[in-house]
């Protein structure tokens, strides 16, 4: 039966498929509690909600009568080591194509229907990232992959270039052997993280993580972290790129999350000129749409400020009157990094100050003035 299920899973694009019981071991439960107590979830307050925490630690409560968790993985095209030009931004590799939530959820539901035919109807629930499920722990429990020190799941063949999904079922299927650890003494991911977000093996402080800062953080990015973000405008692959297990991995033969050309090192100036309609059109069915226009252009401003590329100054000046305070404020910061000693730029920022009402934007203007006067 498990062989048949794996064959069906592969037909639906899930190259890896393993089975475990709906149980989270004590070590992962303690790790979750410790992470929450340290408030490493940042603005994601829902992560600390009592009900969600309980469900993460007790997956059996996610489906009445559950007997088995089927963990599945869809490989995607790995990132490549790159030296982006100053005018280009970097988007995490998983977001180069269609939104994995939509692609995988649709195929997961189709797989669930096929399992009803194969095994007879059972209670089922399908999850792709958005539910309170400790997916990496479950994947490790069933032997799909082990959890690396960067907290992502690692497979011997596919590295960490995987997106995970789960199918909870009341069908009683025998569990697979758990995964074993193969990180050894390697600390490449900890050593290479630009912001030091991997604060200990297997522990990521979201408040420092570039993926969190560029996607989940909805407000102003902390000043002390902006210079460390480089030109990353949506997510970050650095910890994966340096992982020995994730190097030299070939793209899947049929990549269901196939990269789109316009997401590979996009031109920052062109992105900054997007209005709402153009943003929605460009990132339709893309994970990047999650940031909204204001969030993405905020990130673009930071990338521009880190670029040392003076040609960006006119584009940054042009968004000083944008309706989004998030964009205005980060544009001021970028101008402070690129052209704080330019009298014309200082004049434009001064004009903004006279009409600006947002406290956070005014703080960015004060930062600019401090650099200009110094």
Query: Tell me: the pLDDT tens digits for 56-99?
Result: 999 999 999 999 999 999 999 999 776 778 899 999 999 999 99
Is the distance from CB of 73 to CB of 158 less than 8 angstroms? yes
Q: What is the pLDDT of residue 317?
A: 98
Tell me if 350 is assigned to some domain.
no
* 19 vs 1: CA distance, rounded Å: 12
- CA-based nearest residue to 72, from 128, 22, 116, 156: 128
Instruction: Please enumerate in sequence order all residues whose Cβ is within 8 A of that of 206, keeping only pairs 6 or more positions apart, or say none.
Output: 40, 41, 42, 44, 197, 212, 216
Average pLDDT score over residue span 20-40 = 98
- pTM for this structure? 0.96
Domain around 36: 2-87+98-169
Query: Tell me: the pLDDT tens digits for 94-132?
Result: 999 999 999 999 999 999 999 999 999 999 999 999 899
Report the DSSP beta bridge partners of residue 71.
18, 166
Tell me if 263 is assigned to some domain.
no
Q: What is the pLDDT of residue 80?
A: 79
Tell me if 339 is assigned to some domain.
no
Is the distance from CB of 147 to CB of 137 less than 8 angstroms? yes
Placement of tokens 């929450």 in the chain? 36
Q: Which of 98, 99, 116, 129 is catalytic?
A: 129
Tell me if 30 is assigned to some domain.
yes
User: Quick check: 183 pLDDT over 80?
Assistant: yes
Is the distance from CB of 163 to CB of 104 less than 8 angstroms? yes
Tell me if 41 is assigned to some domain.
yes
Tell me if 317 is assigned to some domain.
no
* 298 vs 324: CA distance, rounded Å: 9
Tell me if 143 is assigned to some domain.
yes
| Distance, C-alpha 235 to centroid of its chain | 5
- CA-based nearest residue to 216, from 98, 36, 43: 43
User: Quick check: 242 pLDDT over 80?
Assistant: yes
Tell me if 7 is assigned to some domain.
yes
Query: Tell me: the pLDDT tens digits for 307-344?
Result: 999 999 999 999 999 999 999 999 999 999 999 999 99
Q: What is the pLDDT of residue 85?
A: 87
- CA atoms 15, 21, 22, 23: torsion sign: negative
Q: What is the pLDDT of residue 130?
A: 84
User: Quick check: 272 pLDDT over 70?
Assistant: yes
State how beta strands 153-154 and 124-127 pair.
unpaired
Which residue did the predictor score with more confidence, 373 or 240?
Answer: 240
Q: Is 20 helix (H, G, I), strand (E, B) or coil?
A: strand
Alpha helices in 180-291 (DSSP H): 188-192, 210-211, 223-226, 238-241, 268-272, 276-282
Percent of the chain with pLDDT over 90: 95
Q: Is 265 exposed, middle or buried (0-12, 13-18, 19+ CB in 10 A)?
A: middle
> How many domains does the chain fold into?
1
238 among known catalytic residues: no
């Amino acid at each position: 039966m498990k062989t048949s299920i794996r064959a069906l899973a592969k037909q639906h694009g899930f190259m890896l498929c393993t089975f475990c019981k709906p149980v989270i071991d004590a070590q992962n439960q303690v790790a979750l509690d410790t992470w929450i107590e340290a408030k490493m979830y940042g603005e994601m307050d829902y992560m600390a909600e009592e009900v969600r925490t309980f469900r993460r630690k007790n997956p059996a409560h996610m489906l009445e009568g559950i007997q088995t968790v089927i963990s599945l993985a869809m490989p995607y095209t790995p990132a490549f080591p790159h030296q982006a030009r100053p005018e280009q931004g970097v988007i995490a590799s998983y977001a180069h194509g269609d939104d994995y939530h939509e692609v995988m959820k649709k195929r997961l539901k189709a797989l669930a229907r096929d399992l009803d035919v194969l095994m007879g109807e059972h209670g089922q629930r399908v999850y792709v990232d958005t539910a309170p499920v400790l997916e990496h722990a479950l994947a490790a429990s069933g032997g799909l992959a082990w959890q690396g020190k960067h907290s992502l799941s690692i497979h011997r063949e596919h590295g960490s270039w995987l997106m995970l999904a789960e199918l909870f079922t009341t069908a009683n299927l025998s569990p697979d052997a758990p995964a074993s650890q193969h990180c050894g003494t390697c600390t490449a991911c900890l050593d290479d993280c630009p912001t030091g977000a991997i604060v200990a093996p297997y522990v990521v402080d979201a408040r420092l993580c570039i993926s969190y800062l560029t996607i989940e953080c909805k407000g102003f990015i902390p000043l002390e972290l902006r210079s460390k973000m480089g030109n990353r405008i949506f997510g970050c692959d650095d910890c994966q790129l340096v992982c020995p297990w994730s190097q030299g991995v070939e793209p899947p033969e049929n990549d269901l999350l196939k990269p789109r050309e316009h997401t590979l090192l996009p031109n920052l100036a062109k992105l900054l000129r997007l209005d709402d309609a153009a943003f929605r059109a460009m990132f339709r069915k893309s994970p990047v749409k999650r940031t909204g226009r204001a969030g993405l252009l905020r990130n673009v401003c930071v990338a521009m400020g880190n670029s040392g590329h003076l040609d960006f100054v006119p584009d940054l000046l042009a968004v000083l009157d944008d309706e989004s305070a998030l964009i205005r404020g980060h544009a001021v910061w970028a101008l402070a990094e690129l052209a704080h000693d330019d009298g014309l730029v200082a004049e434009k920022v001064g004009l903004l100050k006279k009409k600006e009402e947002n406290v956070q934007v005014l703080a960015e203007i004060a930062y600019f003035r401090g650099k200009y006067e110094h």
